[in-house]
Amino acid sequence: MNIVVLDGYGLNPGDLSWEAIKTLGHLTVYERTSDQEIIHRAIDADIILTNKTILTAGTLQSLPKLKYIGILSTGYNVVDIEAAKSKGIVVCNIPTYSTASVAQMTFAHLLNITNQVGHYAEENRKGRWNTSLDFCYWDSPIMELHGKKFGIIGMGHIGTAVAEIAHAFGMEVYAYTAREASSMPEWIRKVELKELLSECDIVSLHCPLKANTRQIINSETLALMKKTAILLNTGRGHLINELDVAEALNNGTLAAYGADVLCVEPAIPTNPLLTAKNVYLTPHIAWASTEARKRLMEICANNIKAFLNGTPQNVIQ
């Protein structure tokens, strides 16, 4: 069984082991693979593992031995699922491996924005505290989270984990979701999108990227939000219109934006968010804790074992 990893560096830059997958077949790991290299490298593969390397219908047509695609993430938009189905190729993803880590990053962004930890740490490296006339100083507003209204768009595993943390901080939690209110804790208030955006002090995006959620945050929905509101996005870049968000930040109709994702990654120099006011970006690392990546590797190996045993799990339908 030939197993080819097309872009292994993102998951394992050297601190993890591929051993569990090595035991399942002949393993070849490429750190990165360009579009032009895919067919040559995977022509004899029975199993392909990919994170962000895109497998189009045309590419799949050129891989006659391929039986299984393992996506090294939860999102599966990198594979033409319908084309894979038509060829009888099983496609599996890795659900829920990063829930705790992404929820943690969501609040890392929020706490950095509300308490400006990074700003003050940098100022103190420059010697500013040394020269302060008082025992303390601050030059930016510091917000207490207790009692604030926290709005969550999308109440899957990550949205639910974020809600639990927000509740622990003493915030009022609002949710825009297809879930029934009865399936959520009683302290979560299910509302329509317009009410969530107009009422909440913080809005956090955790919905999947679909036709009805693409650019769910745009000039019209931004106009509903408080000028003092904080927007958080650890979901997908395309959940927002980046130009509209940048303009709202620059004209003062949105207070801050904390995000771990962009529409095009890595970032391109012309992205308006790179130079907009009060933007705090991390380079798509919410999923990348050591613990989450170990969990991903373990689930990936278990997915392959299940497939080889004739009982595939985590199959994309």
32 in active site: no
Choosing from 109, 199, 206, 236, the catalytic residue is 236
| The pLDDT of residue 257 | 98
CA distance 68 to 294: 21
265 in active site: yes
Choosing from 206, 284, 293, 295, the catalytic residue is 284
Measured CA angle at 80 (ends 39, 67), to 5 deg = 60
CA distance 132 to 113: 23
CA distance 105 to 282: 9
The answer to whether the beta carbons of residues 293 and 11 sit under 8 Å apart is yes
The answer to whether the beta carbons of residues 6 and 33 sit under 8 Å apart is yes
236 in active site: yes
| The pLDDT of residue 317 | 81
Decide: pTM greater than 0.95. Answer: no
Residues in the chain where the model's pLDDT stays below 70: none
Place of tokens 């989270």: 145
Per DSSP, the three-state class of 107 is helix
**Closest-CA residue to 155 (of 111, 99, 105):** 99
| The pLDDT of residue 75 | 87
Choosing from 19, 220, 265, 298, the catalytic residue is 265
The answer to whether the beta carbons of residues 55 and 69 sit under 8 Å apart is yes
For residue 102, how many other CB atoms are within 10 A of its CB? 24
